[in-house]
Amino acid sequence: MGLTQGGAARIASAKTYPQPSPSPQSPDIQGQPLDALIHSLEKNFHSKQAHRISLAYGAFQRGKIDRAIQGVDPIVRPASKLAPADAYIDYAHWIRFQAYRAKAEKAIEQKHYALVNRWAELAIQSYLKIMETSPMSPLTRPSSKDLATVELVLGDANWGLQHWKLSQSYFEKALFRLNAQNALISVQPASFAHYAATCRKQTTPACITWLNKVKASFAAQSKEVAAIIEEFPEISDQPKIKPFRAQKLVTTYRTGDLDQTAFTAALQLSLEKRSSKAAQAWGQFLNDYPRSGLRIRAKYWLGQSFEQDHEAEKAKKVFSDLQNEAPLTYYGLLASFKTAQPLNQGIEGELPVAIDTDPSLQPNESFHLRRAQEFIAEKAPELAALELRELKARDGISSEFLLYLGMLNSLAQNTATGLQIFSDLGQRGFEGIRTSFGLRAIFPRRHYALIEKYSKSNQLDPILVLSLIKQESAFDENAGSSVGALGLMQLMPATALETESNIPIHRLHQADDNIRVGTTYLKKLLDRFHGNIALALAAYNAGPNAVDRWLKTAGPDTTLTEFIESIPYKETREYVAAIIRNYFWYTYQIHGDRLNNLDGFWKSISAPSPKPQNGNA
């Protein structure tokens, strides 16, 4: 859960700092505790225009399509031609666009093809008005994908009217638009079948190209591929074209970054248990690269080297400093096991101080900030989230304002953007996130009821699944990776079909379907690796065959910490470590329990048989 209105109330009841203090980065702006800023937001940012838009959008969400259109008509068609343009006119056109699109989709279900054309054309006109009236609107990017769905509906309608050439044209416009956004999976199999049927009536080079693209983009056993082959069977005989890679006469050779090279050499000494030389290497690394992104990892292994070399006091000092410096990291967690000091002892119960503006904001950023504040005040979080996605963390913005921006994203349930902001604050070492507020914002619990439901049916720990989803997608149902992974649990379509053969690929963006299939797949991986959670997590990210290869080089006495450090894929190594970190803090947040070791993540398996990790290795 992000900071919903209920969350805001809980913050308001928490202990606050007694006196507002000036922001150290913005000395002319007085900081205030977050509860005061929330109160100011709810009191001072109401807007008649935002209220009207919120009511119309709420009507649309409840299926009151005509009421939604009527709600924005006074904005789109003001009584006087001399009336100034409404500040939210882009939202008025957007709501009309969404409403007419919904009407067109309903008409296609009822096979009222003439009505489809009418509603779809009105939707397209509204979409064009967004771009015409509001150059800074955040609505054109999400609406571009929606425009493709209107073109798909027009393709289906003209197929029904047997207007083959026109139908084919609309389908190809939609496919071009969706392919550019890596979103072909949103097309229904029936639409692919209709497009293939128009290609049967009028075969063109573009048809063959697009049908081959669809065939290459989906698993061979998918409903999407079956749909086009049924209507255009010749496409199944098309040879798979291998990409041609031209050889260059000149090649650029890159050496590894100096800090990475030094880190790798020091780590090898640690893994070989050459503790004295390792301690020297780690000390030299920290001296030479004090701002390296590998610094936290290096500090942990320096402490390990001192411990192995029986330098207890030095080890204790390093681990204590690391725990205090980075309590919300995996390595801060490992350090707490060494010190036997509760990791949560550095988490403040008081609310941090923030500011609600920043002198370095650009005009477009101030524009989006104001509209986000007004939408939150009107209890329209989805609309606020659209504006907040236009506001990113950057070096010129103060940490105190970024904290406020992170709070706005939590109120808007805009988890992915909020987590990016809090990650930036963590890298800055900003103390304001080491609070109970920071924990709730950094470790939200969205979709937890569904997670519990499907975890129970697959005999999984729901906190493990929650921790995985946070790392995979930051709770963004529409998340998609560059390699084609989809939804909350970032499932590859082929993997999803192997797990549940009748799942339509486009439904992987639905929370219920994604979590159901994802938890089933995770359970299969856990069974494959005999309950070893760390290995299953690594396999979930990198594939089980990669984990099998890594285990062949792991010695029988390999610990959990050593296994994670030896993972050759940076993404997978950080992924497994982050999920373990997530699990610790979610367990503390949900049950109030504090893990004292990581034994549960590392169970011995055959050939090789790693020994359990007890947190003191």
Name the residues annotated as catalytic: 472
Query: In sequence order, which residues have a C-beta less than 8 Å from that of residue 451 and are 6 or more positions away?
Result: 462, 465, 466, 469, 515, 519
Q: What is the DSSP code (8-state) at residue 32?
A: E
- What span, in angstroms and rounded, lies between the C-alpha atoms of 523 and 461? 10
Cβ proximity of 439 and 350 under 8 Å = no
551 Cβ contact partners less than 8 Å away, ≥ 6 residues apart: 535, 605, 608
How far, in Å, CA of 573 to CA of 473, rounded?
17
Q: How many CA atoms lie within 13 A of 449 on its CB side?
A: 1
> How many Å apart are CA 617 and CA 603, to the nearest integer?
15
Task: Classify burial at 108, counting beta carbons within 10 Å of its beta carbon; exposed 0-12, middle 13-18, buried 19 or more.
Answer: buried
Q: Which residue has the tokens 């009105």?
A: 122
CB atoms within 10 A of CB 506: 19
DSSP, collapsed to helix, strand or coil, labels residue 43 as helix
How would you classify residue 48: left for phi > 0, otherwise alpha for psi between -120 and 50, otherwise beta? alpha
Residue identified by tokens 């392919």 is 179
Of 579, 252, 147, 76, whose CA–CA distance to 567 is shortest? 579
- What's the rounded Cα separation, in Å, for the pair 175 and 151? 9
DSSP 399-449: HHHHHHHHHHHHHTT-HHHHHHHHHHHHHHT-GGGSBHHHHHHHS--TTHH
- Each as own residue / partner, the long-range contacts of residues 280-287 (CB below 8 Å, 24 or more positions apart, any chain) are 285/259
Other Cβ atoms less than 10 A from the Cβ of 259: the count is 17
Token pair listed for 340: 């036997």
User: Distance between CA atoms of 309 and 315, rounded to whole angstroms?
Assistant: 9
Q: How far is CA 215 from CA 236, 238, 477, in A?
A: 8, 10, 25
Using only the alpha carbons of the chain, give its radius of gyration. Answer: 27
Q: Which helix (H) or strand (E) holds 354?
A: strand 353-354
Residue 111's region, left for phi above 0, alpha for psi from -120 to 50, else beta, is left
Task: Return the residue matching tokens 């859960």.
Answer: 1
Name the helix (H) or strand (E) containing 144.
helix 140-160
Amino acid (one-letter) located at 122: L
CA 328 to chain centre: 19
**Cβ atoms of residues 470 and 489 within 8 Å:** no
- Three-class SS of residue 30? strand
> Omega of the bond prior to 608 within 30 degrees of 0, cis?
yes
Q: Alpha-carbon distance 17 to 35, whole Å?
A: 10
